[in-house]
Amino acid sequence: MDASATHIWADGDGGGLCSPSLDCVKILNADGVLQHFNDDGLRLMEIDSIEQVRGRSWADLWPEGSKVLVAQALATARTAGTASFSAPCPTAKGAPKWWHVTVAAMPGTNGNIVVVSRDITQERTESGARDLERKRLASILRSNADVLWDIDLPRDQVWWGEGMTSTFGYGPDQIGDTTGWCHDHIHPDDRERVVAGMAEAVQSGAPTWEDDFRYRRADGSYVEVYDRGAIIRDVDGTAQRFVGVMQDVTARNAVGDAYKALAGEMAHRVNNVIAVVTGLFQQTVQKSDTVESIVSAFQSRLKAMASANTAIMRTAGKGASLSDLAEVQLAPFVSAGRMRIIGGALIVPERLAQPLALAFNELATNAIKYGALSNDNGLVDLTWTLSIENGATMLEIVWTESGGPLVSIPTRTGVGSRLIDRGISGAVVDRHFPPEGFRCSIRVPVRA
């Protein structure tokens, strides 16, 4: 915002706007009632004193044929921020005049509205009026980061704000001035819906339109946008202008998607914990003779699970012993004689510590639900080995189940399997489903 604009907004009630100007500048309250009128504006309108108009509705100063345009402009400014139109209005002493009017909601006020009217009686031609409107809108809205647009519907001419360059990267010589150019840049999968929606809004008499879609940047990439516009109509209801704002909401939507993914993973993790605790309790009850022994064994196993979570948190910022991760995470099953862990001492990097611990949790949960840990006799062997391949140290972890129910190939991939596949960076995961027991191998580089 330039220095003059800063001065204009300095007066909290808008009075600062009514300083010397070649335009007719008025401040209205939220109901459209005149509060201030600059001296040059009084002269242009041939009004002898501000008291002649203060407290009157601004719309009452216009002839009947223009009052609809005035009402539409006020409504549009309240919802979309700005509006403009050109219309005739005589002065207080009857002199015929044509005015180009810009209406804008004032930020930081209680709904006040600023109206800037320029006398275009001498310069009113089609091209002159259009150029004047574009220049004035550009001056008023230049600092807006969103993409502002204004469509002259009868002429199929589009004016774009500075955001088309600052947000989407198009140079002035790349920006088209027709609706066809605009529509061509909508993602092909969204285009038909968006174009039809805009046309329906114009033809049906709707005051506004809005939609979410993807729009192409100058570099060829697409961003997600929220677009909203207001339709300005003449006294006959014919749509003349379509004015709106297009916002890049890619980052906002990404935050929402990330939150949904996190919430989904959290829900899955809670369900896994419940399944593991339930399985541990059932196995404890089956192998205990007294209430005291049930309580003691079950508490021990719950503490092992809690210790596993603590071990995971302690790996932040440093490596962790793979043996510790596995033994602490799977301690309830090891102590019950249901699992054997075989592997040499190995420190895995921090980036692998938590994903591998969670993978052990997923595999154990699956074994409790469907595999070797779902009955009284099944066993699990967890082993790991190191090898050198193409100069890189590769870790291979193998989970082998036996003695459980007969295994069949699953018909779908569960959330847990997807978490293992995607959660361990650089890993190759292979699953095998022989009838005698499920087998899973995870191969991942630990050192380049």
Q: Which residue has the higher pLDDT, 166 or 290?
A: 166
Q: Do residue 407 and residue 437 come from a single domain?
A: yes
Q: Do residue 242 and residue 261 come from a single domain?
A: no
User: Nearest 5°: phi and psi at 36?
Assistant: -135, 155
Mean of pLDDT values over 249-273: 68
Q: Do residue 85 and residue 232 come from a single domain?
A: no
Q: Do residue 226 and residue 131 come from a single domain?
A: no
H-run or E-run covering 227: strand 222-233
Residue 303: the pLDDT is: 57
CA-to-CA distance for 441 and 294, rounded, in angstroms?
A: 35
Q: Do residue 336 and residue 266 come from a single domain?
A: yes
Q: Do residue 51 and residue 185 come from a single domain?
A: no
Q: Do residue 36 and residue 162 come from a single domain?
A: no
Give the pLDDT band of residue 403 (cuts 50, 70, 90).
Answer: very high
Q: Do residue 172 and residue 198 come from a single domain?
A: yes
CB atoms within 10 A of CB 185: 17
How many independent structural domains does the chain possess?
Answer: 3
User: Do 23 and 37 touch, CB atoms closer than 8 A?
Assistant: no
Q: What's the pLDDT tens digit per position in 408-432?
A: 998 887 756 777 887 788 899 999 9
- Alpha-carbon 23 to chain mean position: 41
The share of the chain scoring above pLDDT 90, in percent, equals 44
- Alpha-carbon 253 to chain mean position: 2
Q: Do residue 39 and residue 86 come from a single domain?
A: yes
* DSSP, residue by residue, 189-217: HHHHHHHHHHHHHHHHT-SEEEEEEEEE-
Nearest C-alpha neighbor of 43 from the set 27, 29, 24: 24
The domain boundary residue, chosen from 198, 216, 248: 248
CA-to-CA distance for 294 and 281, rounded, in angstroms?
A: 8
Whether the pLDDT of residue 17 is over 50: the answer is: no
Residue 164: the pLDDT is: 87
CATH of residue 234: 3.30.450.20
H-run or E-run covering 379: strand 379-389
> pTM for this one?
0.36
Mean of pLDDT values over 17-46: 83
Reading the block at residue 235, the tokens are: 């006294």
The share of the chain scoring above pLDDT 70, in percent, equals 75
Domain with 48 in it: 1-141
Q: Do residue 238 and residue 260 come from a single domain?
A: no
* DSSP, residue by residue, 244-306: EEEEE-HHHHHHHHHHHHHHHHHHHHHHHHHHHHHHHHHHHHHT-SSHHHHHHHHHHHHHHHH
CATH of residue 315: 3.30.565.10
Whether the pLDDT of residue 283 is over 60: the answer is: no
Q: Do residue 72 and residue 159 come from a single domain?
A: no
Mean of pLDDT values over 297-319: 55
Q: Do residue 293 and residue 436 come from a single domain?
A: yes
The domain boundary residue, chosen from 121, 141, 161: 141
The domain boundary residue, chosen from 99, 124, 141: 141
